[in-house]
Amino acid sequence: MRKTVIKKLVMVALLSMIMPATGFAADTIKIGIAGPHTGDLAAYGIPTKEAAEMVAAQVNAAGGVLGMQVEVLPMDDQCKPEIATNAAMKLVSEGVDVVIGHVCSGATKAAMGIYKEANIIAVSPSATNPPLTQSGEYPNFYRTIAPDDDQGKLAATFATDKLGAKKIAILHDKGDYGKGFADFSKQFVEAGGKAKVVLFEGVTPGAMDYSAVISKVRREGADAVIFGGYHPEASKLVAQMNSKRMDIPFIGPDGVMGNGFLDIAGKDAEGVYATGPKDVSALAANQKARANYTSKYGKEAGTFFDQGYAAMQAILNAIEVSGGTDYAGLEKALKSSYVETAVGKIKFDAKGDAEGVGFSVYQVQGGQFVELK
């Protein structure tokens, strides 16, 4: 007798918590914004949150989407997987329709299972871990940033297709970033079948000189070098390649693309290729979003602002196109209709990666990195 009373009380308590949430969902669109909003990685999460809030405010001022107001629910995950699962459960129980997030790849992985079970689509502005889309495990996952292996793929295809390299030497600095890029490049060179990887080797960062490894590149008869690492090693390598009279293309990742490289390598930098994020600063949509941000907050927008802004724009567009927040409808809209966003005109491919975002090849011409179209 007593037990049933308690059960009933618990039921009532639970229902009272759920009821308003579901009751509310009919007239507003709830969008969860998950990411680090506190903690030492907050700088990666807050710009996305601010971007989403800005887009929501603009849309709401113009009458909302399909006549419904957009409500933004920020949820902090501190980039920690264990907190991310909690955050995801909270968002699900709040009855969100779509999630923007999470920001860190590890946290995203932890949260995706929960969204999958609840049939909620999540669009991350920044989780670049390749398996998130490629494994096919999370059909509800989308992202407005290019995955990590995109850069390696671009470097590999550029070397084989544009430069016509047949024998490629791949060097890296043994670090996570550099070796990761080198591994992906190797994988795509081999998968492409147009060229051979004749040398795959780490160099010691901070070593006095790299002339031994450069001699090795020459001995292997390489006709292009792909290097994974940062600018100090890259500038040392290109300088020593020049002093050893080796005139073959050198391709680096975005860790090389910057003024540090141009300063240190000086005239040796000329002609060096580097992959880097596509330059979106010339896009009108991007300029507008950033100008709005600056006028509201009085500073420059931070990391992943563009991607967060674009994620929000893509989602709201999909809701408008599909006429609701139904999972199947949203999926179809995200994958089929192009939308003008702060990172360019995008739609998503079958796996959830955005088409039209990512990396370009740059070349040093006249002491500056110039985007090759």
Partner 1 sequence: MEYFLELSCSGLVRASIYALIALGYTMVYGIIQLINFAHGEIYMIGAFVALIVSGVLTIYGFSGFSILVLAGLIAVIYAAAYGYTLEKIAYRPLRNAPRLSPLISAIGMSLFLQNYVLLAQTPDFLPFPALIPDFAFMEPIAHIMGSPELVILVTSAISMVALTVLIKYTRIGKAMRATQQDMTMARLVGVNVDNVISMTFIIGSVLAAIGGVLVGSYIGQINFYIGFMAGVKAFTAAVLGGIGNIPGAVLGALVLGLTEAYAAGYISSAYEDVFAFGVLVLILILRPSGLLGKAVKLKV
Question: Does residue 204 touch partner 1 according to CB under 8 A?
Answer: yes
Helix 327-336 to helix 305-322 angle, to the nearest 10 degrees? 120
Using only C-alpha atoms, the chain has a radius of gyration, in whole angstroms, of 24
Question: Does residue 207 touch partner 1 according to CB under 8 A?
Answer: yes
Question: Does residue 287 touch partner 1 according to CB under 8 A?
Answer: no
**Closest CB to partner 1 among residues 174, 332:** 174
Question: Does residue 264 touch partner 1 according to CB under 8 A?
Answer: yes
Q: What is the DSSP string of 216-281?
A: HHHHTT-SEEEEES-HHHHHHHHHHHHHTT----EEE-TTT-SHHHHHHHGGGGTT-EEEEE---T
Q: Tokens standing for 137?
A: 């495990």
Q: Shortest Cβ distance from residue 44 to partner 1 (Å)?
A: 23
Question: Does residue 257 touch partner 1 according to CB under 8 A?
Answer: no
Q: Shortest Cβ distance from residue 209 to partner 1 (Å)?
A: 6
Q: Which stretch binds partner 1 (CB under 8 A): 10-18, 209-217, 297-305, 363-371?
A: 209-217
Q: Which residue, 306, 301, 316, 320, is CA-closest to 277?
A: 306
**Closest CB to partner 1 among residues 210, 348:** 210
Q: Shortest Cβ distance from residue 211 to partner 1 (Å)?
A: 4
Q: Are 256 and 272 in contact (CB under 8 A)?
A: yes
Q: Judged by CB under 8 A, which of 113, 260, 324, 356 binds partner 1?
A: 260
**Closest CB to partner 1 among residues 160, 240:** 240
Q: Judged by CB under 8 A, which of 57, 118, 198, 246 binds partner 1?
A: 246
Question: Does residue 247 touch partner 1 according to CB under 8 A?
Answer: no
How far is Cα 89 from Cα 294, in angstroms, rounded to an integer?
A: 34
Q: Shortest Cβ distance from residue 189 to partner 1 (Å)?
A: 19
CB neighbours (10 Å) of residue 23? Answer: 10
Q: Shortest Cβ distance from residue 274 to partner 1 (Å)?
A: 17
Q: Judged by CB under 8 A, which of 90, 167, 244, 351 binds partner 1?
A: 244
- Binding to partner 1 by CB under 8 A, coded x per residue (else -) over 224-243, reads -------xx--xx--xx--x
Q: Shortest Cβ distance from residue 355 to partner 1 (Å)?
A: 37
The one-letter code for the residue type at 92 is V
Q: Tokens standing for 361?
A: 């090849």
Q: Tokens standing for 325?
A: 């927040």
How far is Cα 33 from Cα 52, in angstroms, rounded to an integer?
A: 8
CA-CA-CA-CA torsion sign (340, 341, 346, 348): negative
CB neighbours (10 Å) of residue 56? Answer: 21
| CA 162 centroid distance within chain | 25
Q: Judged by CB under 8 A, which of 44, 158, 210, 293 binds partner 1?
A: 210
Q: Tokens standing for 259?
A: 């003024």
With H, G, I as helix, E, B as strand and everything else as coil, classify residue 327: helix
Question: Does residue 263 touch partner 1 according to CB under 8 A?
Answer: yes
- Binding to partner 1 by CB under 8 A, coded x per residue (else -) over 152-181, reads ----------------------x-------
Q: Judged by CB under 8 A, which of 265, 280, 312, 361 binds partner 1?
A: 265
How far is Cα 199 from Cα 321, in angstroms, rounded to an integer?
A: 50
**Closest CB to partner 1 among residues 201, 320:** 201
Question: Which secondary-structure segment (H or E) carries 346?
Answer: strand 344-348
222 — alpha (psi -120 to 50), left (phi > 0) or beta?
Answer: beta
Question: Does residue 355 touch partner 1 according to CB under 8 A?
Answer: no
Q: Judged by CB under 8 A, which of 268, 306, 331, 353 binds partner 1?
A: 268
**Closest CB to partner 1 among residues 241, 339:** 241
Question: Which residues make up the interface to partner 1 (CB under 8 A)?
Answer: 174, 201-204, 206-213, 215-216, 218-219, 231-232, 235-236, 239-240, 243-246, 260, 263-266, 268
